[in-house]
Chain A
Amino acid sequence: MTALASTPAAAPFAQVQAPHLEVRGVTKHFVRKPDVVERAAIALGLLPPPPVLRAVDGVSFAVARGEALGLVGESGCGKSTLGRLLAGVHEKTAGDFLFEGMEEARWDAARAKRARLEVQMIFQDPMSSLNPRKRVGAAIGEAPVAHGLVSRRERDELVAGLMREVGLDPSYMRRYPHQFSGGQRQRIGIARALAVSPAALVCDEAVAALDVSIQAQILNLFMDLRERRGLTYLFISHDLGVVEHITDRVAIMYLGRIVEIGPTPEIFAAPAHPYTRALLAEAPRVGQGRRVYAPLTGEIPSPLAPPPGCAFHTRCPRAFARCREEAPVLDDVAPGRAAACHLDDQA
C-alpha cells in the first residue's frame, strides 16, 4: 500500500484481486411523490406522471483497494448522488453494487454490515453533519459503541487516539463543535468517519469550503491517512487542482453519466472528451498569466429534461448530426482510458 500511495501515477489497473468497490450500470432516479389528488388525476389521465430526475444514469466503474478515484463535474451532474450511493446513504434505483467483487444480492449479514461500515463519508460542511449540542468526543465515539466495536469504557481512549491521528488535541474532547475553526471541524468529521475503521472514504467536496492554507493541511491529512491506513478514496470535487493532486484516476461526469475515465495525469495532459477539454480549459490556474476568456456557450441542461442523443451536444463545439440522435457509449480509447464520444469512432 505504501508503495502504491507514494507513486500514484502507477495505480494498478490489471489487479489480480477483485476491485474493492465496483458499480455496474448503477442508476438513481428521483421522483417527487404525487399527493392523493394528483395520484387520482394521473390515474384518470388528467395529469402527466411526475417527471423523473435521472441523477445517475447507468454508471459503471471499479476502484481498487488503496486507490484514489476522483469524481469531477459541475453542479447537478450526479457526482454527489453517486458518492452517496456507494456510502449507502441513498438506495439505488437499478444496477449492481459489488463489494470485494461480490454482488449485493449474494452478501450475507456479516458482509452487508462490513460493506456499510467500511465505506464512510466526509461532507463539505462538517457543521451540518455534527450535532451542535453534542460534545465532539461523544460525536466521534458514538458509532463505534453503537456498532459494538468498542465498549463504552474504551470509548474515550479510542477517541483520544483518533483525535491525535487527525491532528487535534485530545484534551478538546469535551468541547462543542462551535468552539472549533472550520479546518478543525473538518478534522472532527474525519475522525468520526475513521472511528469505525473504514477501508474506504467517500469525500464529497471535503475541502471546498476551506481557505487555501487550511485546505492544504486537510489534503495532507488525507494523503497521510491513505499511506498509514491504506484507504480507498472516492474524491468528489469540482476543484480540478485538488483532484489532480490527490487522485490516481479520475472520472468526469456530465448529466448523470461518466463521459471520460482514466489515469489522472493522462487525462489532465491530454483530455479525450470535448467536455473534459472545455472543463480543463476554463479552469484558471496560477502561473498562466492574463488570458482572454472564450467561453463554452450555453448552460448546463436540466437533468429533468436531458437533451436527446449525447447530453453534451447542445454545448459541444464539435457536435454533428449523430450526436443529436444517438447517445455515445463509454468505450476504450487507450489502455485504461475510456470516453463516451462519437468523434472517437471516426478515426
Chain B
Amino acid sequence: MNEQSNTVSGLGEQLSTLSQDIWYLAPELTLVITILLLLGFDLLFKNNKNLGIFSLAISGLAFTFFVTIQSFDLASSVLSLFNGLVVFDQLGLVFRALFILAALMMLIMATRTDKLFSDFSRSSELVVLSVALILGASLMSMSVNLVMIYISIELVSISSYILTGLLNGKQKSEASLKYVLFGGVASAVMIYGMSWLYGFTGTLDISDGAFYSGLSEVATLPLSIALVMTIGGFVFKLGAFPFHIWSPDVYQAAPTPIVALFSLAPKLAALTILIRFVNEIPVELFDWKLWLGIIAIASMTVGNFSALWQKNAKRMMAYSSIAHAGFLLVGLLAYSESGNVALLFYASIYLVMNFAAFLLIQYFEKQGGSAELKKMRGLGLKMPWIGVLTVVVMVALTGLPPTAGFNAKLFIFSSLWEAWQIEGQPVLLWVFIFGLLNTVVALFYYLKIPYYLFFKKSENENSPITVNKIDLFWGTIFVLPLLILFFKADWLVGFLNSINFVL
C-alpha cells in the first residue's frame, strides 16, 4: 500500500488495496457505525429516547477512543493510504483522540442542560450531526489530498451549519445563515485556489514530489495568490482573523455544548491541515511564516480587543476563541522538534479549558436564563465552589500560573523564541512580543466573569441556590486537569514525547 501509481493496473488490485487500507481507518469506521446505529434507533423508537441515544453515542465514542489509542503502535511509521488520499500517522491520531474526547465532553455537557436534553429526546439529529462533525474533523486531520481536504472540510462545515440552525429561534436562523454564507464564500475561494494549485502542479497530492517541483516553477505572484486563497479557506475553519466575523453570532446563538464543540474540533482539524500543508511549502518559495505570523498577531489582537466590549459570556468566548486561534498559529510558527510537543500540549490544554469554561457558563446560563454577564451578578457568592472553579478556568484561559494554561503558553512561546533565535525572522519576534502582551488585554475580559460573580451584588440576595451534586462533580472533573497539569506537566509531555512526529 506504500507503493502507489496513478496508472490503473487492474481493478482487482485496486480494490484489494482499498480493502486492506480500510482497516487503518477503524476509528472512522466505528464513528460511521455509531451514526448508523443512532439513525436506526431513532426510526425504531418513538418516545423517551434520550437514554438510548446517549448510551449509544457515548459507548460508540468510547469504543472509537479505545480503537484510536490501540492504533498508535500501527502508526509508528507514516503510512499513505488510498493512493495518497490520506496519511496514517501518530500526529493525526493524537488529534483524533482529542476530537473524540471533545465529543464525549460535549455529550456530558448536554446531559447537564434541561432544554437541550429534552430536544435530544425528540430525535437523534443533534447527536448524529455532532458525530458527523467529529468524523469530518478526523478525516481533516489526516488528509493530504486537496480534494480530500475539501470534502472533509465540507463535511465539518455542513454539519456545523445545521447544528447552528437546527433548533428553532430567529437568532439561530440568522446566525446559521451568516455561517452558511461566510462558509460558502470561504469554500469557494479555497477551492478556486486549489484549482490553481492543481493547474500549476498537475497533482492533487500535496505530499507528492511533483507538487513541490511544480510550485517551484511558478512565478511568485500567481503562486502567492493561489496559496493565499487556499490557506484562507483553512483559516476560516480555524476561525482566525480576517475570517472570524461569523463566530460571535454563531457562538451566541447555538446551544452551549455545541458551541464548545465548535470552538474546538474544527479549529484543531484546520490546524492539522495547515501543519501538513505548509510543511510541503518551503519558506523560500512562499513566505508563509510572514503571512501566518501576521494573521496570528491580528487574531490575537482583534480577538482580545473585541472581547473587551462584550456583555454576553458566550459572545466573549467567541472572541476569546479567535484570540486562541492566534495562539494555535503561534504553535504552528514554532513548529519544530520542540514546537510540536508544545503545540500538542497547548491543543490538549485548550480542549480542557475551553470545555470547562463552557460547562461553567452553561451552569450560569441555567441559573440566570441567559449567558448575559449581568445575569451572573452575585452568583459566585451563592455557588462558591462553582465560582472558584470559574476563577481557575479564567486564569487558565488568560495563561497565568498556577494553571496548565500558563505552561501551555510558556512552552509555545519558548519554542517560538528558539525558532526565532535559529531562523532570525523578525516576524517571529513580533509575534512573540504581541502574543505575550496580549495576555494583559485577555486578563481584563476574562476577569469580567469573576468580577460579576463576586464583586457585583445580585438583585435578589436572599434566594439561596442549591447546586446539583452532579454539576459540582463534572465541574470539578473538567477543571482539575488544569491544576494537575500545571504541577505535573511532565505527565502529559512525557506521553506527547513518545509520539513520532514525522509528517
Tell me whether A and B are bound partners. no
Tell me the A residues contacting B by CB distance below 8 Å.
none
Interface residues of B (CB under 8 A from A): none
